[in-house]
Amino acid sequence: MKLLATISLSLSLLALSNSLPSNDSAIIDECVKCGSVNCLVSRMSLQDKIAQKLMPDVQGWQVGVAPGGTCSRFPPDVITTNSEVDTYLKKYKFGGVILFALNLRDTAAGIRLVDAFQKSNAVNNKIPLMVSTDQEGGLVTRLGLGTMFPGNMAMAATGNTGYTSQAAGIMAKELKSVGIQVQFGPDVDVNVNPANPVIGARSFGDDPAQVSLNTAAYVTAVQEQGTVSCAKHFPGHGDTASDSHSSLPLVNKTRSQWEAEDLPPFKAAISAGIDMIMTAHIQYPNLDSTQLVSAVTGETIYLPATLSKTIQSDILRGELGFKGVTITDAMNMAGIVQQFDPVDAVGRLFTAGVDIALMPIPVNCAPKIDNVQLVIDHVIDLINDGTIKMKDIDDSVKRILKLKMKYGMLKLDDTPVEDKVAYGLANINTAASKAAEKQISDDAVTLVKNDPETGIPFKTTSQSNVVIFTAVTSYTSSFTSIMNDLNADFKFSVNSFQGNVTYNDTHKALIDSATHIIIGSELGANTPAITGSGVIDQGASTTTYRFNFPRAVLDEAIAQKKPVVLLSQRVPYDIGYYPDAPTSVCIYGVKAITNGVYGMPNLKSGISAILGITKPKGKLPVQIPDTVGNILYERGTGLTL
């Protein structure tokens, strides 16, 4: 009878935990006042605990779709909230939301959007949202009018970790002034694979020690601003040959290789007091050899790191002693959705011990709102059948709430929204931050090779004609604006070869007329394979034209003895494919003009160095191989003028 009574009582308590009344501000105030997250967790229903572990996105929303209707794949951008989004945020007591560039194109509008989301959430949820975004700097930035900075690899090229601290601190301060509390940065992956299609210049380099030093500087600077720093992507995405946004990469590195190459920056981040770490959607069989058959494709795969209890709990928490919050990379990435049902994937990641599911299931119109309930119900089922322990859920929610308490996120900021806008506008993209951005970007420019007769700085006169070729059409306006901004007193033209353009007599005529030539190289995500004759193997058309066109221009310029610079626009590895270029410069990233501003400062810095307005000071933070894998330029290479 006692056993039956105990079972009955346990079932009653479980039912009660699913239906406790909503937490209210008085209770929360009292719990916060006494500094007890145990108090908060004890007042939450099971559904609310699970929702606290979900961080959806609200990038696009199609208003007015009837029940049972089909949502557009490309709904309108959410720049301002609407009644359906409000209903969505009121229905579930989410732990947070992630914002993207689509939401943050305009500073004032972004501030109002964050404020509106917090107020919608506060109607039924007295625990405010934790608002996040990716503002790494460089190639990955979301704050449209914020200070971009040149990115991790460029900052490492300066050899000055003080610059890393300065840039990270400014970006963190700008995020906080918009109401965003979590910076998904730094990227601490060690980019040991030159063909890595997703990390590249987002990394500080290929030397674990150098990456570790910059990681610690970045993390400390972000958190000193009262913003959460999140290191990514554990256990390391720097040696992948494919992109987890479009596939499920496999890393066959041994455990000892991982410990030597990928692990040190994560240890440095933990030692620096990092509060959050993001997972990677990669297969890592020498860390977890568990195999399963994909319910989607039917193929046998290794359990991805995001879903691996061995990697996320045993290694990250057990061996490394990380006590902070863990969060997944976006769960809508192909590395997950091509192999797992989304609802099942969330259950697996919580079983693995990850705290927060980022973008757990797509919701972009009213009929999809109830998809969240499918996720919550599935997790409850896993708790009820013992797959997930209730204690693990409670411990996870406590970690999230401790983080919120630490950074003052348990109290809604009731400052009038227009005051928030005024503060944000005064603290974003200031003259001081732009000056810092320019200095760091200028000092990162790396002159790897310089012809003593025809190299940089270009010797130009009013009669000169500088001809620029670029692989990306959208960059033509950037080049043009930069040349105008720099008050070029000579003739110039910008010519794109995007779209499988074949080198022809028109291009030769441009070279014939040129006094100086700049070739903007950007080989793209898939670094090409080269045959013994030096001609690209025919593969993806994008890679073909991006290699063969610059090759033809370079050959003609060399034949005519014209001053020519190979400008590696994104990853520095491009210069390994043109070893005969008389002069080679690396800038570590470029974006087109967006919202009337340069997406990155790097291109302007590179052109300034070529024209002699500034002097290149950077050193390669990676080794550059030639086309057969031999090291062409050692890490640390960099000429000064």
Per-residue pLDDT tens digits for 232-267: 999 999 998 777 787 899 999 999 999 999 999 999
- Distance in Å from the first CA to the final CA of the chain: 89
Alpha-helical (H) ranges within 53-106 are: 83-91
DSSP 3-state of 469: strand
Token look-up 């609407």 returns 82
What amino acid occupies position 306?
Answer: T
Q: How far is CA 183 from CA 51, 176, 213, 608, in A?
A: 21, 9, 19, 31
Higher pLDDT, 596 or 248: 248
> Residue 624 is encoded by which pair of tokens?
């550059």
Give the CA angle between residues 503, 504, 506 to the nearest 5°: 120
* Residue 22 binned pLDDT confidence (cut-offs 50, 70, 90): low
Give the chain's length.
641
User: Is residue 522 within 8 Å of 587, Cβ to Cβ?
Assistant: no
What pLDDT sits at residue 6? 37
Q: For 603-618, what is the mean pLDDT?
A: 98
Q: How far is CA 511 from CA 280, 504, 516, 553, 557, in A?
A: 46, 11, 8, 8, 7
Alpha-helical (H) ranges within 445-504 are: 476-485
pTM attached to this predicted model: 0.93
25-426 and 445-633 in the same fold = no
Q: Report how far residue 564's alpha carbon sits from residue 567's, in angstroms, rounded to the nearest whole number.
A: 9
* Residue 30 binned pLDDT confidence (cut-offs 50, 70, 90): confident
Contacts 24+ apart (CB under 8 A), 420-426: 420/111, 420/115, 420/179, 421/107, 421/108, 421/111, 421/112, 423/177, 424/107, 424/108, 424/111, 424/177, 424/178, 425/107, 425/108
Alpha-helical (H) ranges within 463-562 are: 476-485, 505-513, 541-559
Q: Report how far residue 163's alpha carbon sits from residue 161's, in angstroms, rounded to the nearest whole number.
A: 5
Residue 249, preceding peptide bond in cis (omega within 30° of 0): no
Comparing 270-279, 300-309, 542-551, the range with the smallest average pLDDT is 542-551
Q: Which residues, at least 6 apart from 21, have a Cβ–Cβ distance to it below 8 Å?
A: none
According to DSSP, the residues that pair with 283 across neighbouring strands are 250
Q: Report how far residue 414's alpha carbon sits from residue 412's, in angstroms, rounded to the nearest whole number.
A: 6
Q: For 403-409, what is the mean pLDDT?
A: 96
User: Is residue 229 within 8 Å of 183, Cβ to Cβ?
Assistant: yes
* Residue 18 binned pLDDT confidence (cut-offs 50, 70, 90): very low
> Residue 628 is encoded by which pair of tokens?
């057969």
Pick the CATH number of 25-426 from 3.20.20.300, 2.40.50.100, 3.30.450.80, 3.40.50.850: 3.20.20.300
- Residue 271 has, within 13 A of its CA and on its CB side, a CA count of 12
CATH assignment, 445-633? 3.40.50.1700
Return the active site residues. 245, 329
Alpha-helical (H) ranges within 140-282 are: 152-157, 161-178, 208-224, 255-261, 263-271
Rg of the chain over CA atoms, in angstroms? 26
Q: For 392-411, what is the mean pLDDT?
A: 97
Q: For 561-570, what is the mean pLDDT?
A: 97
Q: Report how far residue 270's alpha carbon sits from residue 364's, in angstroms, rounded to the nearest whole number.
A: 36
Q: For 431-443, what is the mean pLDDT?
A: 98
Tell me: the pLDDT tens digits for 51-68?
999 999 999 999 999 999
**Phi and psi of 373, rounded to 5°?**
-65, -35
Average per-residue pLDDT for the chain:
92
Tell me: the pLDDT tens digits for 523-539?
864 454 444 334 444 34
The pLDDT > 90 percentage for the chain reads 84
What pLDDT sits at residue 524? 62
State yes or no: pLDDT of 35 exceeds 80: no
Q: For 297-326, what is the mean pLDDT?
A: 97
What amino acid occupies position 125?
Answer: N
Q: Report how far residue 180's alpha carbon sits from residue 174's, in angstroms, rounded to the nearest whole number.
A: 9
User: From its phi and psi, is residue 534 left (phi > 0), alpha (psi between -120 and 50) or beta?
Assistant: left
State yes or no: pLDDT of 230 exceeds 90: yes
Instruction: Tell how strand 564-568 and strand 583-586 pair up.
Output: parallel
* Residue 543 binned pLDDT confidence (cut-offs 50, 70, 90): low
Q: Report how far residue 120's alpha carbon sits from residue 44's, in angstroms, rounded to the nearest whole number.
A: 19
Q: Is 232 exposed, middle or buried (0-12, 13-18, 19+ CB in 10 A)?
A: buried
Q: Break the chain into its structural domains and give their ranges.
A: 25-426, 445-633
Q: For 124-145, what is the mean pLDDT?
A: 95
List, in sequence order, every beta strand (DSSP E) within 243-315. Answer: 276-279, 291-293, 300-302
Nearest to 556 by CA among 442, 636, 469: 469
* DSSP label of 57: B
Q: How far is CA 172 from CA 48, 99, 180, 212, 227, in A?
A: 29, 15, 9, 19, 6
> Residue 395 is encoded by which pair of tokens?
């411990």
Q: Report how far residue 303's alpha carbon sits from residue 235's, in angstroms, rounded to the nearest whole number.
A: 13
- Residue 172 has, within 13 A of its CA and on its CB side, a CA count of 25
User: Could you write out the DSSP letters of every residue in 364-380?
Assistant: -SGGGTTHHHHHHHHHH
If one counts every other C-beta atom within 10 angstroms of the C-beta of residue 463, the result is: 8
According to DSSP, the residues that pair with 530 across neighbouring strands are 536
* Residue 2 binned pLDDT confidence (cut-offs 50, 70, 90): very low
